[in-house]
Amino acid sequence: MNEFIYSEKSDFASAEELAVMQEQLLKRHLLYCRDNSPFYRDILNDMDISGNSFDILEQLPLTDKSQLNASPERFVAVADREIRDIVFSSGTIGAPLPVPYTARDLKRLAYNEYRSFLACGMTADDRVLLTCTLDRCFIAGLAYFEGVRAIGAAAIRNGLNSLESHAEVIRRLKPTVIVGVPSFLKRLAGFMAPSMQGADGIRMLICIGEPVRDRELKLNSLGQTLAEQWQAKVYSTYASSETITSFCDCSIGNGGHLLPDLGVAEILDENGKTVPEGEPGELVMTPLQMEAMPLLRFRTGDITFMTRKTCACGRSSFRIGPILGRRQQMMKINGTTLYPQSVFTALENIPEVADYYILAHRNEHGLFTDAEVHVAFASEYRETCVALVRKRLAAHIRIKLPVLAEDISSLRTKVFSKENRKPQRFFTVSGRYDDGI
């Protein structure tokens, strides 16, 4: 089997060559799932999987995270003695899921991040500050660390730490690349301003967990702010604990490239049908070359869109845009579908807003039908600020939502809770209220 040795051909093969390679790897993956996974054995045993693997894949049911949570042991395809690492998925929606990896899966993990970081321009000459945790059963920090090592760069593992700590690390160790959550990097730059001592050598920010691009694949307001604050290139990378297959910007910064030898991606509508290129839908992943917990058509829950056009960098691989929202966070307000990310994007464009979150109200049927926006201002609260935010927000999302002001310290304590590994800006409560608007 592929031992994850990089070849430039893997990146710059033609679309036809990539399709042939993927078909072969997908065939192997289907056979592996049938022979080793108790869950997929029940599905595949009665199927003829000797034909075109892509056609077979389309006939298979989708795998939902609820199925994994219900019986995770039925998805494990190796003996306990083969497992080398166990993590938890982030638990953005629902309970965190235990995800095991074999030694080969960990090699795949390093290869995945090596390819991603190489594509966006990281080199062995870089010093890379990691502002994400490597502990607490979290895979992302480990993945980025292994990717940095594979590149040959120097990793600075400061992890989930205070603004003061990161500012001191930047001043003393002078990193050239930072990997972190965009909203945190924005706060860090604000804390370090006006001198930004030690930040003059930082040439690249690799952003995780929050989108920094818009529907046109250009930097959104948050991405532009980061580029200006740090005077650095801003790139984005996306993956999930279950699939460990990244979509990372190349040096052009024009959408996240799939690594074709590590996954097959689909964008599907609510009925499980493929949406037209450029149209939003749910990202469904079949990660290739996985051992411990192989998956077929895994519903990530993330809404995005894709393009197959050859990128200006020369890659012809499948690319996705920013994550527009999560399927399970969809709100239906006054007959209009709204994702929290649309609200976040609007708020990032309002300079008076220093931080924010949404409190969504779930009705008796489990649907989000009402929401309120909580904001904090950098300066002293004024009633005119709330009115301004309400007006600008309504102009952007075409829906009137109540806006409530909070003290910046208490709001950030809620958003950047120590119990969570990344900022939480979407909270829910059961019941309905009358906002009076």
How far apart are the C-alpha atoms of 294 and 214, rounded to whole Å? 32
Residue 432 confidence (pLDDT): 44
For 72-86, write each residue's pLDDT tens digit: 999 999 999 999 999
Residue 16 confidence (pLDDT): 94
- Say whether pLDDT at 39 is over 50: yes
How far apart are the C-alpha atoms of 384 and 108, rounded to whole Å? 53
Residue 433 confidence (pLDDT): 39
Residue ranges matching CATH 3.30.300.30 in the chain = 330-430
Sequence-ordered list of residues with C-beta below 8 angstroms from that of 69, at least 6 positions apart, any chain: 94, 95, 97
Confidence band (pLDDT; 50, 70, 90) for 398?
Answer: confident
Q: Is 278 in contact with 247 (CB distance < 8 Å)?
A: no
Range 240-259 average pLDDT: 94
- Phi, psi (deg, nearest 5) at residue 198: 90, -10
Residue 227 CA, distance from chain mean position: 20
For 110-160, write each residue's pLDDT tens digit: 999 999 999 999 999 999 999 998 888 889 899 999 999 999 999 999 988
0.75 exceeded by the pTM?
yes
Confidence band (pLDDT; 50, 70, 90) for 90?
Answer: low
Q: Strands of 233-238's sheet, edge to edge? A: 154-157, 127-130, 177-180, 204-207, 233-238, 247-249, 256-258, 319-320, 306-307
Residue ranges matching CATH 3.40.50.12780 in the chain = 1-323
Superfamily of segment(s) 1-323: ANL, N-terminal domain (3.40.50.12780)
How far apart are the C-alpha atoms of 226 and 417, rounded to whole Å? 23
Tokens read off for 321: 């845009």
Superfamily of segment(s) 330-430: ANL, C-terminal domain (3.30.300.30)
Sequence-ordered list of residues with C-beta below 8 angstroms from that of 235, at least 6 positions apart, any chain: 120, 121, 204, 205, 206, 207, 248, 249, 253
Share above pLDDT 70 across residues of the chain, in percent, rounded to a whole number: 95
For 336-380, write each residue's pLDDT tens digit: 889 898 899 889 888 889 999 999 998 877 788 889 999 999 776
How far apart are the C-alpha atoms of 156 and 336, rounded to whole Å? 45
Sequence-ordered list of residues with C-beta below 8 angstroms from that of 55, at least 6 positions apart, any chain: none
Residue 91 confidence (pLDDT): 55
Per DSSP, the residues of 95-118 read: S--EEEEEHHHHHHHHHHHHHHHH
Range 230-243 average pLDDT: 95
How far apart are the C-alpha atoms of 100 and 38, rounded to whole Å? 15
How far apart are the C-alpha atoms of 48 and 131, rounded to whole Å? 47
Q: Where are the alpha helices (DSSP H) in 284-402?
A: 340-348, 383-397
